[in-house]
Amino acid sequence: MLYQIYEAQRSLMEPFADFAQAAAKLYSNPLSPLGQTPLAQRVAAGYDLLYRLGKDYEKPAFGITTVDVDGVGVAIHERIEMDKPFCELRRFKRFSDDPATLAKLKVQPVVLVVAPLSGHYATLLRDTVRAMLKDHKVYITDWKNARLVPMEDGEFHLDDYVNYVQEFIRHLQSVYGNCHIMSVCQPTVPVLAAVSLMASRGEKTPLSMTMMGGPIDARRSPTAVNDLAVQRSFQWFENNVIYRVPENYPGAGRRVYPGFLQHTGFVAMNPDRHATSHYDYFKDLVKGDDASAEAHRKFYDEYNAVLDMDADYYLETIATVFQDFKLVNGTWDVRSPEGQVERVRPQDIRTTALLTIEGELDDISGSGQTRAAHDLCTGLQDREQRHLEVKGAGHYGIFSGRRWREVVYPQVRDFIRANESSAQAGQRPTTGAASSTSAAEEAPMPAAAVTAAPQARARRPARKA
């Protein structure tokens, strides 16, 4: 019923938002009689803010049309490589008329970026993708809004998420021979499960895994997000945040965790910060600071666009990751598309190098939660593992913005490149912290930022294989 009430409210607000938009343009137009009044700029700013607070936010576009590769502009064509009921595998294909640049692009590593399915769209990783395109062939998981998926397309479980990732990996392997995989936030857990299951079966696994700011072990440095999952029971989540999609959407009748509820939760975490940001936007409009106002619009166009998550997937994630800690406890079983139940065993991974990345000030995935992956991947040699802590970075700073571009991305690029080169040479990678000077020089990281992952594992009891 709550979803229907929200839809009715949204329909009621829509004409008022449209009126506010028109009024803002009328008062800000210098050729309009209303635009000549002394308070015109303030009135226009007020209407503009009202419009943005009341409008409906649709899925943004990636909008990546070109990237600069060593001073040469490279055109980007975005296309759907695979179309699944709940996800599209999206490719950013690069084109160039420069023969030298084209030859360079053809031999660069292939990276599957697994985007979060935790509220925002995959476009939240736009900055991640744009940077990666300079040195990699890039694919990304573009998760669909569950309210747009018809009931006849079936259910979507956490197991299906894991199976999707495996299918995408196999597809890239069939095309290129092998690939690398990067997961940001929520997908670190299902990605580790996917690679673990492939390793246990003896399948070829990606050359490297880069895991950024994810809840591998949500018991470490728990945040407000972790505390909520522990303090509330599974039944509480099922009874209080799950609703059926209204009739006016293709997914009518599907049980979901609605996007508008998720957005309310996001804002409730930092209400003062958002109120201040909107007030600053109003003042920027009054002052005529178009650059700052446009930056605000771009941020909130992304932040306010939130998709519905399928209820089965969401509830199973709460139980598996944040309540029962099945991955770190070694009790997680995943059902394959053929119906076979398999135990997730990260210790079986032996040919996929591991890089974990955390932000020092991350208030979503606390310190040590991502690094815990090294404690689980006991089948990897010390030299195949790395950990990077980004000083002064929050959750979004490790995959977007200046710190991502200047601090994190160069390390990710060098880690992938080193493992790609080692694979081509028929050798295991030597990208981790090692005693030899040559290994450290092969892909250097700032000494203050990087540590040898095995050192963290040594402080904890060894897990049984």
pLDDT in tens, 286-313: 999 999 999 999 999 998 999 999 999 9
Q: Summarize pLDDT for 125-178 with one digit per residue, the tens.
A: 999 999 999 999 999 999 999 999 999 999 999 999 999 999 999 999 999 999
Closest CA to 81 of 134, 157, 126, 142: 142
pLDDT in tens, 99-120: 999 999 999 999 999 999 988 9
Cα→Cα distances 103→6, 66, 94, 214, Å: 53, 18, 12, 35
436: pLDDT strictly greater than 60: no
| 257 contacts 314 by C-beta, under 8 angstroms | yes
State the pLDDT confidence band at 38, using cuts at 50, 70 and 90: confident
pLDDT tens digit string along 363-389? 899 999 999 999 999 999 999 999 999
Percent of the chain with pLDDT over 90: 77
pLDDT at 460 > cutoff 80: no
pLDDT bin (cut points 50, 70, 90) of residue 90 is very high
Among 301, 310, 309, residue whose Cα is nearest residue 58: 301
- 245-278 pLDDT, tens digit per residue, is 999 899 999 999 999 999 888 888 789 999 999 9
The pTM of this model reads 0.87
Tell me what the mean pLDDT of segment 410-423 comes to: 92
Q: Name the strands in the sheet holding 110-114, side by side, starting at the edge strand that comes first in the sequence.
A: 66-69, 72-84, 87-95, 137-143, 110-114, 180-184, 208-212, 353-359, 385-390, 450-451
Which whole number is the average pLDDT over 19-39? 89
Q: How many residues does the structure list for the chain?
A: 465
User: What residues pair up with 83 in beta bridges, in sequence order?
Assistant: 88
Token duo for residue 418? 């080193």
CB distance 117 to 313 below 8 Å? yes
State CA 301 to chain mean position distance.
17
Flag whether pLDDT at 465 surpasses 90: no
In the chain the domains, ranked by start, together with CATH numbers, are 2-56+259-303 (no CATH), 67-237+309-458 (3.40.50.1820)
Quick check: 224 pLDDT over 90? no
